[in-house]
Structure 1
């Protein structure tokens, strides 16, 4: 490859990478706005929804583990859990293996309500995915998982400073 072709390829790569980063920022903004709308409909704060999502994905969790994953102070998490319990989304139960420990678990009774509020986005994503081959979707999924992990690590690094 010539020096000029190499330089052109490098510029193209930088431009494409910048477009990916721009797309991720735009996606982040719009998902935040969607979560704000969903939270408003449910009477929950955005942080409550974030914690509920973590509990659904990784629970049951101890309050300490949830606070760590959510990047929240334990006192702040207490307020979040109080709101989630009052609204019927989560419960704090004694750990069956350690009576002194508490586990936070999601209550699934209202999941249909939550899924209904996200139905428009889920339908749109299904339609978008229909435009791609399985191998492409697998690459997108890998990219998104690796990018999410990079975001988690960056947040952890900032929290440690």
Structure 2
């Protein structure tokens, strides 16, 4: 059975997204290495910065690690000054982990570096390609937010 145009396009889109993701990882690799943060701490910091406070249990689930390991990673980030642990005002038994100003600035700086590279890449495209990409990625993002249903 021969491949349809749509199947070919979908395969190319997946390849393209993978290639862009690989290039974005390369962009941040040197910056990440300069930080001297172990990968587990960096992943936890980015996860914590992406929300409005995480419990140790929630962070452990998100990272796919046990609660003791998550607690240890959080403790290391607290010592570095990147996150703080505080009692949840709504439930004093629950501890909420949030980024400090230093932690937020670090994550923001890493993200900004990625954005700058994307803007540079977009600058090399013509207007029609930028318009088509904006339309297509907007639709893909909406499908992702809807769980695949438009």
> TM-score interval w.r.t. the shorter chain?
0.7 to 0.9
Structure 1: which 4+ aligned runs deviate by more than 6 Å? none
User: Paired residue for 1:155?
Assistant: none
Match of 2:5 in 1: 12
The residue aligned with 1:126 is 119
The 2-side partners of 1:76 and 1:123 are apart by 34
Preserved contact between residue 24 and residue 114 of structure 2 (Cα < 8 Å): no
Inter-CA distance 33–77: structure 2 relative to 1 (3 Å threshold): farther
Say whether 1:105 aligns with 2:102. Answer: no
> Residue 57 of structure 2: which of 61, 64, 72 is its match?
64
**Structure 1 unaligned blocks of 5 or more:** 1-6, 151-161
Query: What's the CA shift for 1:146?
Result: 4.3
Pick the structure with more helix per residue: 1
1:1-161 equivalences in 2 (<5 Å)? 10-128=3-121, 131=127, 132-133=130-131, 137=134, 139-144=136-141, 146-147=143-144
What displacement does 1:59 show? 2.5
Contact 1:84 1:90 survives alignment (8 Å): yes
Q: 1:87 to 1:94 in 2, by over 3 A?
A: same
Would the aligned equivalents of 1:38 and 1:117 in 2 still touch at CA under 8 Å? yes
Deviates more, 1:124-133 or 1:58-67: 124-133
TM-score for both structures, normalised by structure 1:
0.68
| Alignment TM-score, normalising by the size of structure 2 | 0.72
What is the Cα-based RMSD across aligned positions, in Å? 3.0
Deviates more, 1:118-127 or 1:59-68: 118-127
Q: Which SS does the other structure have where 1:58 is aligned? A: coil
Q: Number of paired residues?
A: 142
